[in-house]
Chains A and B, each alone.
Chain A
């Protein structure tokens, strides 16, 4: 396993707030990494787990489950430059509503987050606006143009959580090699959007039976897999560490599995939408642009391969790739609509419904894949329910079902792929960074 020691330089600012004081009475308290599974009262005093329940607000936890909060290492907060789609306050409120206690934001903003000055200003804004602890992932290359490295050392010093050119790949193998060499000096993890742009070409959806039927240009699964193979080879050669973003194709799963078998330091994430949906939606839906994202939804064999790989650990964790876009941009013909869907508020319910209720993995394993493991990979504080820990937890009703879209989103945008789906696993309450950040309204 490729895991970073906790990285003390990562900054995860959160807006100031009163520490939570609450007792959750008679809930199932479940923290598999800490070996906790019991029905009990959970006390949070001064934002810290444990202590004296005397005088605290009491919440009836019967039938509810308290879990370590979700850590989402791949979100787009659209700040700076696209605040009409999302900002730090709304994006992190969306996180809180989804039981997410830490988010890492990608750098494909306008301008791109590619220097210590922009990073510093984002960290400062987050310290005033972020509902949950929020870290930032600056760009690997200046302007995300793939040509020259950003100041990785200064960015690490300033508190970067990792580095990524997400939205686009690092096109040049030489630039990727230089970055991996330089990693030995900075220790920053690279989290990579993998795509060979020459193979993706004008593609806008998965190259498969559906694209052949309706005539949209396809993005083949191998577009992702060949780039992953390249970067695994480079990481092996340079002794570097890489994390693969939003794996979508079975060919990519094969590459990652082989790389891990030969000891390459590679980890990988998968999104809820790739675990639940396929390209058939693009062919069937009267509003297909809401199923447009990059990488694209692939076919049933790919989806099955992703689930198997998540179960067997080839894919390490789940991340949402929460990508807000204003509704009117999604009203264009498919090829002109932007890539991306929101996902923070539905991630737990979607994965719980598909994977746990679907019999593919235990709730314990799902918690490891959504909370413990992503935190470990990125060297972030691992949410835990052990006594003395800062409260980073979600209270969930694993029996409650909601239809996506029936309630307003906390996000500024509504471009959700799961709209209309009945998902089971409701977030009732979220404590993040010791603060009481979300309670579901009745």
Chain B
């Protein structure tokens, strides 16, 4: 990691960083099997969750993650914040600095917002999704899920299907999967993929859904319906479904399907695939909590060079 403990981009991490964080997540997972699911690891630390764009699962899992680690948590949602009265992100951060937070967890509609925030605080900044930029904790939980449920990513083929243009999940996921040794390909309507994606992120890009045939993992992206209105990116969702929907007719046995949610059943993915016990979608949702616990732990201890409380020992004692 950089000298700052922040997690803003996947490129902030090395493969070793990823494995360290995911090893911590694995140990926290064992705590989640206990009766009392809370550990004192971050007692006395303050986590500010600043969510300036709608979010349910990410904000909930970050809030619960901080509470399970015994941190003090302040959660601020986009509705009713001063930013809607014209305050800039800089001023919001400077104001919240009064609480002397140790971590800002930030969800924001604009690319690069976390990097802006980082300039005005000494706290670590964790990117919980910045516009069409990145969503690194999603990528970490996706890697964790594959490693837990399928096996090492090294040598695997991950096919990412759908609206890559608007997807921070894809942008972070492609980088994380490749960092862990996977081959990544993108299958997308040509209108929904950035023109220079292949050169930018080292992926193969095709427009033919049949190209998922030799993938080990098929990662389905949500059609961001809210952006489809006037854009004319695809002629109709019905045609999109006919050409690109991931369903059992297009999958072969053994291929595992992922989706970051929320799903549009019958659009980018069939209901049958969502409900298939072989899909990894439920595991992804479940793993969000422990991976985000591990990220909060990591930015406050390991990456910051404060290894005295090591994840393996006393931190896992019940509170």
**Which residues from chain A sit less than 8 Å from chain B, CB to CB?**
207-218, 220, 286-288, 328, 331-336
Contacts and interface: CB of A to CB of B under 8 A. Distances in A.
B158 to A, nearest CB: 18
A331 B132 contact: no
Given A212-B196, A212-B199, A214-B111, 14 more contacts: A207-B196, A213-B200, A216-B111, A216-B133, A220-B195, A328-B90, A331-B116, A332-B90, A333-B111, A334-B111, A335-B110, A335-B111, A335-B112, A335-B131
B110 A333 contact: yes
B132 A212 contact: no
**Which 9 A-B residue pairings sit nearest by Cβ, starting from the closest?**
A333-B110, A212-B200, A212-B194, A213-B200, A215-B133, A212-B196, A215-B132, A333-B113, A209-B196
B168 A215 contact: yes
A212 B195 contact: yes
Contacts of B200: 209-210, 212-213
A328 B88 CA distance: 9
A89 to B, nearest CB: 29
B110 A334 contact: yes
Nearest to B168: A215
A389 to B, nearest CB: 50
B146 interface: no
A218 B119 CA distance: 25
A285 to B, nearest CB: 10
B111 A208 contact: no
B115 interface: yes
Contacts of A336: 110
B201 A331 contact: no
A212 B112 contact: no
Contacts of A214: 111-112, 133
A333 B201 contact: no
Contacts of B268: none
B111 A215 contact: yes
B131 A215 contact: yes
Given A214-B112, A286-B119, A332 B196 contact: no
Contacts of A215: 111, 131-134, 168, 171
B89 interface: yes
Given A215-B111, A286-B119, A336-B110, A207 B195 contact: yes
B132 A217 contact: yes
Interface size class of B (residues with CB under 8 A): 20 to 34
Contacts of B201: 212-213
B162 to A, nearest CB: 16
Contacts of B111: 214-216, 333-335
Contacts of B133: 214-216
Nearest to A331: B90
Interface in B189-229: 194-197, 199-201
9 contacts: A210-B200, A211-B194, A212-B200, A215-B171, A286-B115, A287-B119, A332-B89, A333-B89, A335-B111
B108 interface: yes
Interface string B119-138: 10000000000111110000
Contacts of A287: 119
A331 B88 contact: yes
A215 B110 CA distance: 10
Contact of A212 (B88, B115, B134, B197): B197
Contacts of B115: 286, 288
A212 B195 CA distance: 7
Contacts of A209: 196, 199-200
A288 B113 CA distance: 11
Given A212-B201, A215-B131, A215-B132, A333 B116 contact: yes
Interface in B74-118: 88-90, 108, 110-113, 115-116
Nearest to B175: A213
Contacts of A286: 115, 119
B163 to A, nearest CB: 13
* Most chain B CB atoms below 10 A, which of A208, A214, A217: A214
Contacts of A210: 200
B191 to A, nearest CB: 12
A328 B201 CA distance: 33
A286 B118 CA distance: 10
A328 B87 CA distance: 12
B142 to A, nearest CB: 17
Nearest to A216: B111
Nearest to B90: A331
Between A212, A218, A220, A331, the greatest number of chain B beta carbons within 10 A of the residue's beta carbon is seen for: A212
B280 to A, nearest CB: 24
Nearest to B171: A215
B184 to A, nearest CB: 14
A220 B113 CA distance: 23
Contacts of B116: 331-333
Contacts of B108: 333
A302 to B, nearest CB: 13
A288 B115 CA distance: 10
Contacts of A213: 171, 200-201
B260 to A, nearest CB: 15
Q: B89, B90, B115 — which one has the most chain A CB atoms within 10 A of its CB?
A: B115
